[in-house]
Amino acid sequence: MGWNNWNAFGCAVSESLLLETAQKLVDSGLRDLGYNYVLLDDCWSDGRDENNMLRADEHKFPQGMGYVADQIHELGLLFGMYSSAGEMTCARYAGSLDYESYDAKAFASWGVDYLKYDNCYHLGRFGTPQISFDRYNVMWKALNATGRPILYSLCNWGEDYPHTWGMSIANSWRISGDIYDSFSRPDDLCSCNSPSDPHCVAPGTHCSVINIINKVTPYVDRGQPGGWNDLDMLEVGNGGMTDDEYVAHFSMWAALKSPLLLGNDIRELTAKSLTILNNPAIIAISQDPLGRSAFRVRRDTVDIPKDRYGVGEIQIWSGHLWGGDQLVIFLNAGGKEMEVTATLEDIFVGDGPEGSASQVHEAWDVYDLWANRMEESIGAELLNAGSETYEKVFNDANWYNSTALPYKEGLILQDKRLMGKKIEVVEADGTLKATVKKHAVRVFRLKSTGSHKFTRYSTQRDEFSDITRYDVAIAGTVVVNVKFLGQVFLATTVLAAGSNAPVAIVGINGTVPYLGLSTEIPRPPLVKTPSLPPQSLCVELVNLYFDYVHDQFHSLFHRPTFEQDLLKGKVPPVVLYALMALSARFSTNPVFATIDPRDRTSGYMKESERLLDLRDVSLTTIQACVLLGAICISEGNGYGECVYYSTACRMAMLLDLANRPISDGIEQEVNLRVWWSLWMIDTWTSDAMRLPKVLSKTDGIPLPMSETIYHSAHAGDKYESLVQKSSSESQCSLIAEMIKLNGILHQINKYNNKKVTAQNKGIPIEDEVDNLSRKLDEWEASIPEHMLDKPENLSYWASQGLGRIFTAVHFGHYHFGQLICYQFLHEDCHSSTPDRAHFYATKCKNYAARLCQLTYASHSTPGCDILYNMVGHVLVISSTVQIHTLLFSEDESQIQISRSRLEKNYELLTNLRQYWPTLDLCFARLRAFHNACLQSMDTSFRLDQWMLTFLSHFSTPVDDKCAEQWTIDEIETRL
């Protein structure tokens, strides 16, 4: 993406023109949308010096090309230049033919980042693909020899079928003659309309938008990450077309993955032209990480009203987008407004003929990428803003900035600015319909309404007979062995750092096969490690994860080591994406300004799931599964949570993770903490889903060491010495105490289940409440003084950076006490042993009171506030205990205290609700409990199957015990 001077200025080039344009790219916000290249076309040279080196015209460029490049680079832009693979350029200046080595060195010395290499005056060196390849291959080798990454763009006008060999040496290749500022006007200089035209013996010039689209149609798939079909510059803003035509022109170039090079005078752009060019939803199509061009699924020419040039056709285009989305374009090249329809069978024909594609049977949300765009433009404000004020205008309008948030990350986050406006849903096996004005387009992004994952790869005219190997051989190099038409070719692609485009592509077994016009050969996308967000954002999200999730949900990592690995780029992306999916909800970074905290998860999660390899039985896969399971439960997906956690547990058993011999102390402690995390998770999940535990044996497995010793450990420290140090310094582990409590929780859950089952069958069981309650009391009595729940201890642990873990330990203790004593809230009013029932009912209320007090204190103590999603479930249980006091107590002071706690709990739940979708379930459960109380105060607290589900099966919705239905607003009113 960038700007080229030729279409607007021709030979009227100068140093001032380039630098003024570069500044305008910045001031108009175009640079931050991705328009990064400033390209100088023909007419800049005045010949060669005595050493055969190209010279810049000192009148046009008085300070030289190196100065121009430096100035452009200082603005955060890239600099491109022009030459021709002929003895002269098209404007009859010195060409590079037979001087390739000299000129490549000159370009590299000036700091050039892009070379447009034209086709004029080639001394007859053309006529077959091999001859043209040989001519352009020389410059490719010369550029590579300089060592400077220079994007190599072939401009041979489609001559000698560059789509069959361009990928082997270049990053883009022109497929037609020069564009003309017209939508459909025919021109004798561009006489052929498609490659199948037998009279198409010359590429021509003055080609219209429709002419170029029709020419590229048969080989749109030849463009892949690293090399692209070039449809020539954009004419938007030059005045020869209507705004609707420019919208169509820009949209089609983006969909066909052509380089988006502005061919206008951006200093004189109109507000509407700027609004067309800065549509981030369309640019995101161009920059889509999948890198697949749209393909034409239908072209109707019969009974289509013709325009004044005799052109009349409707085209429907479809294309795969990253993340399972689908692009659909309705193009009206006729003479009047038309209604256009396409069935899902049409749209997904490339995935299976005659409706066999699975996507046909899905429902799809439809987003219009141009809806209200032109009417809600801030183009005028941007054009009127100067260098000092454009940024404010840009930020005030919440305009997309791909410098801060690359398009891939925006797509992962489902940034609304890239999605367009949702206009309808196309149901399964349905039809998409739209009215399209003449010489215009409608552009849609389709998003599946379900969680269906697609493995996409077009099968049209599949001429690959066998893909024998497809893997990464060395860093940055993709090797593909393909058996093609009976021969085996080896293609190697060298990828540029941080870019989708390769610096160059080595030939196929040293030769260039002539593929002729047998086109539309589908190829799988290049195998690449996915790009991650900017490191600063990764660091921020990792810090938020360790602050608000780690050691509260689970304990999977050694934070200092993880942070070092992050800076070195060593954290596996499958882990990092899942981690960020959990923590992004807490971020206040401006890149998330338009994204609801609860909506920031899905993109990161999908990327982690895409990278997850369940055949890789390793600690990394276990960690990823735990993170993905935590995401599932935060979304209310209990089944997904259970599957991921069970997988992680099985892998830990296969690896014998807790007993695995490792010399490094940190690694061994990480293994232990992961194992114990799985054991605790297994306790919660198995009990909640009424399934047997996967991990049950704990004999001989040591508990985690002190967090203080663990966090201060260094690589190479021996495990035994760390444990000895932890013991000798009488250091306590908060995680170890959490584990002990979870062992009691499992017994409490077993007892409550057994109690309800026996109660339903009328079978008496041994009362284990005294024993379980005593275990909780003994645990509290056993911990050191500095670990008790006291205000001074809360402050102490906060000062150690462990305030939230400390809070989580006691939060769990009080909740487990609620669970074992909860049945006595009912028995306090109905028991034949009132003293015992009253004792445990009071104890339940004390546990609930201490839980509330701890939660309030944690939120008023920096570094102690707990925001993980299970807090919502526990606060709901505690709130029902307060409701019991409101309903049955006669002590007015206790009633007032309980009412105050309910109000505070409601505030906390509302705050949590902004982060976690599962809080909707918590509110719904609270509603159901309210309704149960309204129906019958006498039975609402009885420990039956409904109450057991309410207390322990936190991922399961509970039905109302009565017919009354409440809305969320009603719940909030009643609270």
Active site residues per annotation: 118, 178
DSSP per residue, 192-218: --STT-TT--S--SSB-HHHHHHHHGG
Tokens representing residue 543 in the block: 């810090």
What kind and span of H or E run contains 696? none
AA identity, residue 947: M
Interatomic CA distance for residues 569 and 562, integer angstroms = 10
Tokens representing residue 911 in the block: 């705050």
Buried b / exposed e over 101-125, threshold 16 CB at 10 Å, is: bbbbbbbbebbbbbbbbbbbbbeee
For strand 78-84 and strand 54-56, is the pairing parallel, antiparallel, or unpaired? unpaired
Q: Give me the helices (H) in 504-637, please.
A: 535-548, 559-567, 573-583, 602-611, 619-634
On whether the CB atoms of residues 649 and 695 are closer than 8 A, the answer is yes
DSSP per residue, 301-335: -TTPPP-TTS---EEEEEEE-GGG-EEEEEEE-SS
Interatomic CA distance for residues 851 and 556, integer angstroms = 26
Look up tokens 């939803």; give the residue. 281
Q: Is 365 helix (H, G, I), strand (E, B) or coil?
A: strand
Question: In 475-572, at which residue ranges do the beta strands (DSSP E only) sit?
Answer: 477-484, 487-495, 502-505
Q: Is 116 helix (H, G, I), strand (E, B) or coil?
A: strand
CA neighbours closer than 13 Å in the CB half-sphere of residue 755: 21
Q: Is 384 helix (H, G, I), strand (E, B) or coil?
A: helix
Hey, which residues does 481 pair with through a beta bridge? 469, 490
Q: Is 910 helix (H, G, I), strand (E, B) or coil?
A: helix
Interatomic CA distance for residues 480 and 466, integer angstroms = 11
- 886: exposed, middle or buried (Cβ count in 10 Å: 0-12, 13-18, 19+): middle
On whether the CB atoms of residues 15 and 62 are closer than 8 A, the answer is yes
Interatomic CA distance for residues 33 and 404, integer angstroms = 10
On whether the CB atoms of residues 366 and 427 are closer than 8 A, the answer is no
AA identity, residue 377: S
Tokens representing residue 420 in the block: 């367009």
Interatomic CA distance for residues 766 and 90, integer angstroms = 97
CA neighbours closer than 13 Å in the CB half-sphere of residue 844: 28
AA identity, residue 693: K
Residues 6 or more apart from 606 whose CB is under 8 A from it?
Answer: 323, 412
Interatomic CA distance for residues 962 and 967, integer angstroms = 15
On whether the CB atoms of residues 400 and 417 are closer than 8 A, the answer is yes
CA angle centred on 477, ends 471 and 481, rounded to 5°: 45
Question: In 32-156, at which residue ranges do the beta strands (DSSP E only) sit?
Answer: 37-39, 45-48, 54-56, 78-84, 114-118, 151-154
Hey, which residues does 224 pair with through a beta bridge? 227
Residue 725 has what DSSP assignment?
H
Interatomic CA distance for residues 80 and 776, integer angstroms = 72
Residues 6 or more apart from 374 whose CB is under 8 A from it?
Answer: 243, 247, 272, 275, 276
Tokens representing residue 66 in the block: 């190196």
Tokens representing residue 145 in the block: 């020899």
Count, residues in the chain: 975
